[in-house]
Amino acid sequence: MATESLTLHPSGSKMPLLGFGTWKIPKDSAADVVYKAIEAGYRLFDCACDYGNEIQVGQGIKKAIADGLVTREELFITSKLWNTYHHKEHVPLAFNRTLTDLGLDYIDLYLIHFPISLKFVPFEERYPPEWGNMEQDPVPIHETWAAMESLVHSGKVKNIGVSNFTAVLLMDLLSYAKVKPAVLHIEVHPYLNNADLIKFAQSQGLQITGYSNFGPTSYVELGSPAAKNAVPLFKEENLSKIAAHHNKTVAQVILRWLVQDKIAVIPKSVNPVRLAQNADIFNFKLSTEEMDTINGMSIPLRLNDPGVYANIPIYA
Ligand code: NAD
The answer to whether residues 112 and 81 touch, using CB atoms and an 8 Å cutoff, is yes
Tell me, yes or no, if 309 is annotated catalytic.
no
> In the structure, what pLDDT confidence band is assigned to residue 67 with cuts at 50, 70 and 90?
very high
Q: Kindly state the average pLDDT of the residues 181-203.
A: 98
* Distance from Cα 101 to the centre of ligand 1, integer Å: 22
Contacts of 313 (CB under 8 A, 6+ apart): 305, 306, 307
Q: What type of residue sits at position 269?
A: S
Q: Kindly state the average pLDDT of the residues 38-59.
A: 98
DSSP class of residue 81?
E
Contacts of 237 (CB under 8 A, 6+ apart): none
Residue among 82, 78, 80 nearest 122 (CA): 82
- Predicted TM-score (pTM) of the model is 0.98
- Looking at the predicted structure, is the pLDDT value of residue 2 above 80? no
CA–CA dist 48, 41 (Å, integer): 21
- Looking at the predicted structure, is the pLDDT value of residue 218 above 90? yes
pLDDT averaged over the chain? 97
> In the structure, what pLDDT confidence band is assigned to residue 1 with cuts at 50, 70 and 90?
low
State residue 203's pLDDT score.
Answer: 98
Q: What type of residue sits at position 189?
A: H
269 CB near ligand 1 (under 6 Å): yes
Closest-CA residue, ligand 1 atom 17, reads: 274
| pLDDT 10s digits, 265-313 | 999 999 999 999 999 999 999 999 999 999 999 999 999 999 999 999 9
CA–CA dist 183, 73 (Å, integer): 19
23 CB near ligand 1 (under 6 Å): yes
Q: Determine how many CB atoms are found less than 10 A away from the CB of residue 2.
A: 10
Length of the chain, please?
316
CA–CA dist 160, 181 (Å, integer): 6
Closest-CA residue, ligand 1 atom 38, reads: 211
CA–CA dist 25, 39 (Å, integer): 17
3-state SS class at 148:
helix
> In the structure, what pLDDT confidence band is assigned to residue 71 with cuts at 50, 70 and 90?
very high
The residue extents of the domains of the chain are 11-187
Q: Name the CATH topology of 11-187.
A: TIM Barrel (3.20.20)
